[in-house]
Amino acid sequence: MRQRPALFAVAAALAVVLAACAVSPTGRKQLLLFPDGEVAQMGVAAFDQQKQATAASKDTKTNAYVQCVSNHLLKAMGQDPAGWEVVVFASEQVNAFALPGGKIGVYTGLLPVASNQHMLAAVVGHEIGHVIAKHSNERLSTQFATQQGMAVVQALGGEMTETKKMLYGALGLGAQYGVILPYGRKQESEADVIGLDLMAKAGFDPAQAVTLWERMSQANGKQPPEFLSTHPSNETRIRELQARMGKALALQQQARAAGAAPNCK
């Protein structure tokens, strides 16, 4: 009798998961448990916190340059740039990000590495790709489902013993390396594909995405083994971009023929 409530919990959890199944822009199955509006609110709140924690760059030319690249990408995805907030943060971090709710952040430390408009477009396009594919929702949903699943397993297991504690600890480790981290790698690879196509549709040179990641590899130094990272290795990332390059170049040619010619400096 003790296990009946837990079995009901399992059935309820399965029903929620099945109802939340979705498909990403590349055709990959996703788990999306949270309303888009709620995730957008989280993105706006996180961006406001970042603005409080890190000063924005006051360099007019740098701000105009990053805004120019972002505008071309947003227009290529059918978005009004006026609906997005773009902030250049004065920080040595070699990074950028985009958040649900229409937010883009670029750190000044990225600009010497992504040293022209095409490479910057590759980074920002990648980050926008996370938003397009609803990766924030997917990450939250995966973590939530994993935590709930662990709780259900413990409820089914009955009285806790030292042996069970060890087994549950191992199960938690397995969930981390078997579900959460690989999911991160899939998301990163998917954002690479979406970002590559997006920069090409905006008229940027997609071939320079490969150059960018070669430069990023030099900037990042030694990386952890790929199976212990939420990101694919630079070698894997470059190989996958090269495999996609034919389609991206065709998209760029179409965009150029239609008059897309970014000139951000």
Q: Which residue numbers are catalytic?
A: 127
Give the CA angle between residues 255, 206, 197 to the nearest 5°. 65
Helix (H) or strand (E) holding 18: helix 4-19
Q: 220, 214, 52, 28: which is closest to 119 by C-alpha?
A: 214
Greatest Cα pair distance, the chain, in angstroms, is: 70
Q: Which two tokens stand for residue 71?
A: 């505008």
Q: Which two tokens stand for residue 206?
A: 């997609």
Answer yes or no: are the C-beta atoms of 238 and 213 closer than 8 Å. yes
Rounded CA-CA distance 4/9 in Å is 9
Rounded CA-CA distance 207/229 in Å is 25
Answer yes or no: are the C-beta atoms of 89 and 104 closer than 8 Å. no
| Separation in Å, CA 227 to CA 138, 142, 182, 224, 237 | 20, 18, 8, 8, 14
The dihedral over CA atoms of 230, 231, 235, 238, expressed in degrees to the nearest 10, equals 150
Q: Which two tokens stand for residue 185?
A: 């790698």
Answer yes or no: are the C-beta atoms of 156 and 6 closer than 8 Å. yes
Answer yes or no: are the C-beta atoms of 258 and 244 closer than 8 Å. no
